[in-house]
Amino acid sequence: MALRKQHEGFEESVIPDEWFVPKVKEKDEGERVSRPSLSYWKDAWLRLRKNKLAMAGLIFLILLAIMAVIGPMISPHSVSEQNLRNQNLPPSGEYWFGTDKLGRDMFTRTWYGARISLFVGVVAALVDFVIGVLYGGVSGYKGGRTDNIMMRIIEILYGLPYLLVVILLMVVMGPGLTTIIVALSATGWIGMARIVRGQVLQIKNFEYVLASKSFGTKTTRIIRKNLLPNTMGPIIVQITLTVPSAIFSEAFLSFLGLGIQSPYTSWGMMASDGLSAIITGQWWRLVFPAFFISATMFAFNVLGDGLQDALDPRLRR
């Protein structure tokens, strides 16, 4: 109608009203959205699914978790059942993974060890996640003096003899699963904190955060809506690396004799138990636990690599 109003006064009668026909909106190809609109997570999942190695890792881990639950149930033997007449038997129909030096069934113990190892790994990773994100987030966001002091504290924790801390915890809390998880988390969160801090330091200076600030957005909202989602990629990758490294550290503690206490077991304990057995030719006592530690590490690592590629928006094709 604007056109007509402008011309009012002189050529009013030249273009009759009937000539104005509303234009029908064409179904234009150019305006069609060629890809379905995807959320960040949906897109990441689609890209992860294309990565065969990462998917193999994910499937392996799911199977492992299932076996950890049902494994000990499908075997006729129990974890601590000793049979001194069946010491060091090779794998057979009766004992699928053979037996150890006390005649205990390696198959049952392997899956029982999976429970402990996976539980230790996952819980330690969760604790690292919570402490690491909070510590690193505050350090990176506050910056300046606060950041400096918080990073020095990390340096000091790094310098403390780790075993001293572990043994102190063992004495104070008594040996057990909780103690091991606390011991692993005591220094485990440092890696996560460093990564989150580095990311936050970088992102908080980006223009969109400045824009958000200039609108008067509250700090908590900026952290929740701007900073955290953009650091989520590296954080998730770090989690997939923390789980296996916790399993690894537990194996190291077992090697020193500071791990899970008998009759319970973990992969690390079984592997260090089997070290001497390989010399006398009882390969199954080392190979089964060592294989599952390595395969789990491998699966978590390739899954982490796949996630890293999938969660990085710059690598989107």
Partner 1 sequence: MNSYFVKRVIAMFVTLWLIITLTFFLMHSIPGNPFATDRNTNEAVQKNLNSFYHLDDPLYVQYGSYLKSLVTFNLGPSIKQSAFTVNELIGRGFPVSMELGLWTLVVAVVCGILLGVVAALRHNGIIDYLAMTLAVIGISVPNFVMATLLIQQFAVNWPIFPVATWSSPMHMVLPILALASGPMAIIARLTRSSMIEVLAQDYIRTARAKGLSPAKIVFKHALRNALMPVVTLLGALAAGILTGTFVIEKIFAIPGMGKYFVESINQRDYPVIMGTTVFYSAILIIMLYLVDLAYGIIDPRIKLGKKEG
Could you tell me if 297 and 42 are in contact, meaning their C-beta atoms sit under 8 angstroms apart?
A: no
Q: Does 138 bind partner 1 (CB under 8 A)?
A: no
Q: Does 55 bind partner 1 (CB under 8 A)?
A: no
Q: Among residues 77 and 195, whose Cβ is nearest to partner 1?
A: 195
Could you tell me if 114 and 68 are in contact, meaning their C-beta atoms sit under 8 angstroms apart?
A: yes
Give the interface segment with partner 1, choosing from 30-38, 91-99, 156-164, 207-215 (CB under 8 A): 156-164
Give the interface segment with partner 1, choosing from 63-71, 93-101, 131-139, 149-157 (CB under 8 A): 149-157
**62-71 contacts at long range (C-beta below 8 A, 24 or more positions apart):** 64/114, 64/118, 64/292, 64/296, 64/299, 65/118, 67/111, 67/114, 68/111, 68/114, 68/115, 68/118, 69/115, 71/107, 71/108, 71/110, 71/111, 71/112, 71/114
The size of the interface with partner 1 (CB under 8 A), counted in residues, is: 42
The single residue among 53, 55, 131, 236 that binds partner 1, judged by CB under 8 A, is 53
Token digits for 2?
């604007």
The single residue among 79, 222, 228, 297 that binds partner 1, judged by CB under 8 A, is 297
Distance CA 96, CA 94 (A): 6
Q: List binders of partner 1 among 65-124 (CB under 8 A).
A: none
Q: Does 38 bind partner 1 (CB under 8 A)?
A: no
Q: Among residues 80 and 170, whose Cβ is nearest to partner 1?
A: 170
Give the interface segment with partner 1, choosing from 38-46, 118-126, 214-222, 290-298 (CB under 8 A): 290-298
Binding-site ranges for partner 1 (CB under 8 A): 53, 143-144, 147, 152, 155-156, 158-161, 163-165, 167-168, 171, 205, 244, 248, 251-252, 255-256, 268, 271-272, 275, 278-279, 286, 290, 293-295, 297-298, 301-302, 305, 308, 314
